[in-house]
Structure 1
């Protein structure tokens, strides 16, 4: 059996937020769990991960498992996201794997009152697929031991070794075989820190490598196997711009979700994949895209890497150290090449509605025109471009709307936030388009 569709109700996961399960320095060792489970709205993650592995000291993990069960039993009904505790596991350590199994038994025990709000478990440090299947079998035993429906607990894995990365390529053919319950797989999460250690990688500064290939491979494997890809932690929690840049790069390869270490990162990661409230224009200033300043009917460039002046019937456009002498028509073409428009949610809905109306009228393709006036050094130039929309274009550009609809359907606690951002009319239209 091969997989060509999502195996779980969630189509997207934007945020994967971890919390230590037991802190010996606090009077109440479960204090951080109790604080995290109270998060709501944009501060609450799509997936909350009470972390009984790296975030919790080894001598506190037994108490951590007890804390998870206690806190989720008391507050889990009201938590708006999914709850997937991370337990200890290691491909090379049977003792560690057994300890993780014991913790899963504790957390999922119906007598503790938490399992109704436990959606699955996160398994770190997996190796080859035989190791993944061991975790799957342990979860199956947990389900049978506690009288739970087989497959009711999802399994997510953290890719922290070259072996695990290679094994992702086999998932498509392994999921669905009668000898395993790997259909329970939900998230493939990158763990770049331990992956760097496993790869014996060295950088001059000691910073983590970018590992672009790992993120691409995880996204590709998730797509092929009907799963969801999530990037690993971004440790510099003060570098908001860097976090956004990472998420933008990830989204371009289909990895919508990212690990969040703080509620502030959760807010950023919840909002980042959603279309902007207002559309805006970008211009390429010598290899770097910057936003043009919206002055009503004119989009103005205010940087110092581009310059433009009129010289009789011609124009002199300077881009970095390159000078271009252009006619008016050539200048328009050049500026079309240098600029790009980032559509708002309203823009996307408008375009989709226009195409749907044309298709209903019997047209297979239509041209969408985007026009504006660009101002550089006070010289204004009107530009416009046409983009052909056919069914393939429509389907490809439906992804932001599908994401928005998935968020709206699964996170009612964010309805007010979305209405405040976009307006109720736009939200209503976005929920109708494409259906």
Structure 2
């Protein structure tokens, strides 16, 4: 079985859920509001949620709201639309209800199906349960005269069974007895997963479940799907949300659940390469961004101090520990304490330079990063060389490939991206890596 993906998107940044029906005079107002989001406020995948976000007594009305809103606004919505229906691995009646919901939503006479990209199936169990959902979707496609495989299927990993099932997915996907090639997103659902695992914390907060996120990212990579992290429910903790995404991206998980339009904007922007590069000092597991002033990087804090005591003699104090160093030793010590976060321009520059070197027959070249640090008024020039080979180039391509994927599939974000980076950098970023 190949892990090649069977859909256009290679990256999904945002998974935004909206209740299909809420109490009040206009029960569809949340759907109507979400359907009109554009630009950075619009998610890559919009999930009209007829499961947990909608009260059981309102789900029938929710299906009708979904059909009406998607029929009216779906053609103009810039992301993909993947309704979430009811399902449960241990309850046949719930699975049948989910089947009926999908059957109604995709009825061509209702006018919504041409804008529906797939369905999100929650509370799945072992792989046999995934196949049941897949079979229902295949039946729906046949019933309504849709192309087989035209509707994707995403699942929410909310149980130990589902987590273990990801290990079997690569071997099962592609067999003639199933249509699991339709799988799109593997989404973590940490709330129900915590309940299923009978986990507890002293504060009652959710565990971080780093292992689950790693396993989902690994399972998605092996099976040619896209991994998405679950909801971050402290919607006011923007910095915590950003930190969560940084952790996720380090394990190959770009996408994350968004509960509000504000989280959508944050999650859409955070994975993109920064507009400007920055130098960081790493002190006691803290990363301190240095202030850029006239081409120099200035540290203004009390955890680090530097004094020049002779022509080639310095005293460096880090968290109260003092070292007397010559210029070469100081250079090496500061190199160990600093790191550089490249901008989009830096990344594209390096990739273009390596492409030119490769064209000239070179297999590896050295790239230099240099700056002047200013600590307590003392200036120190530092420079580090990094060898670039084909593997380094391919790794650097990932953030650029993300940008290219966004630019190709989200025309509504073109203006924001060109304003962020500048038209020239956008053009170069879209051209780099396209000759292979």
Structure 1 residue aligned with 2:338: 339
1:282 corresponds to which of 256, 280, 286: 280
Q: Which runs of 5+ in 2 are unaligned?
A: none
Q: Distance in 2 between matches of 1:173 and 1:304?
A: 56
How many residues align? The count is: 433
Quote the offset at 1:194 in angstroms.
0.6
Structure 1 residue aligned with 2:384: 385
Structure 1 residue aligned with 2:258: 260
Q: Distance in 1 between matches of 2:263 and 2:401?
A: 23
Q: Distance in 2 between matches of 1:244 and 1:8?
A: 28
Structure 2 residue aligned with 1:193: 191
Structure 1 residue aligned with 2:314: 315
Which digits, 9 at most, give the CA deviation of each residue in 1:101-140, with x for residues without a partner? 1100010000000000000000000000000000001111
Q: Which runs of 5+ in 1 are unaligned?
A: none
Q: Distance in 2 between matches of 1:176 and 1:324?
A: 61
Quote the offset at 1:4 in angstroms.
2.6
Q: Distance in 2 between matches of 1:175 and 1:22?
A: 35
Which digits, 9 at most, give the CA deviation of each residue in 1:41-65, with x for residues without a partner? 0000000000000000000001111
Secondary structure of the residue that 1:48 maps to in structure 2? strand
1:231 corresponds to which of 223, 229, 232: 229
Structure 2 residue aligned with 1:425: 424
Structure 2 residue aligned with 1:409: 408
Secondary structure of the residue that 1:394 maps to in structure 2? helix
Quote the offset at 1:165 in angstroms.
0.6
Q: Distance in 1 between matches of 2:294 and 2:165?
A: 53
Quote the offset at 1:308 in angstroms.
1.4
Secondary structure of the residue that 2:43 maps to in structure 1? coil
Q: Distance in 2 between matches of 1:4 and 1:153?
A: 19
Q: How does 1:52-67 map to 2 (within 5 A)?
A: 52-67=50-65
Contact 1:286/1:319 (8 A) holds in 2: no
Q: Distance in 2 between matches of 1:297 and 1:38?
A: 43
Structure 1 residue aligned with 2:373: 374
2:247 corresponds to which of 246, 249, 271: 249
1:182 corresponds to which of 152, 174, 180: 180
2:136 aligned with 1:138, yes or no? yes
2:16 aligned with 1:46, yes or no? no
Contact 1:286/1:305 (8 A) holds in 2: no
Quote the offset at 1:150 in angstroms.
0.8
Quote the offset at 1:324 in angstroms.
2.4
Structure 2 residue aligned with 1:291: 289
Quote the offset at 1:314 in angstroms.
2.3
Structure 1 residue aligned with 2:359: 360
RMSD over aligned CA atoms reads 0.8
Secondary structure of the residue that 1:235 maps to in structure 2? coil
Q: Distance in 2 between matches of 1:90 and 1:133?
A: 13
Quote the offset at 1:380 in angstroms.
1.2
Quote the offset at 1:321 in angstroms.
3.7
Quote the offset at 1:305 in angstroms.
1.3
Return 327-336 or 227-236, whichever deviates more. Answer: 327-336
TM-score of the two chains, using structure 2 as the length reference: 0.98
Contact 1:49/1:83 (8 A) holds in 2: yes
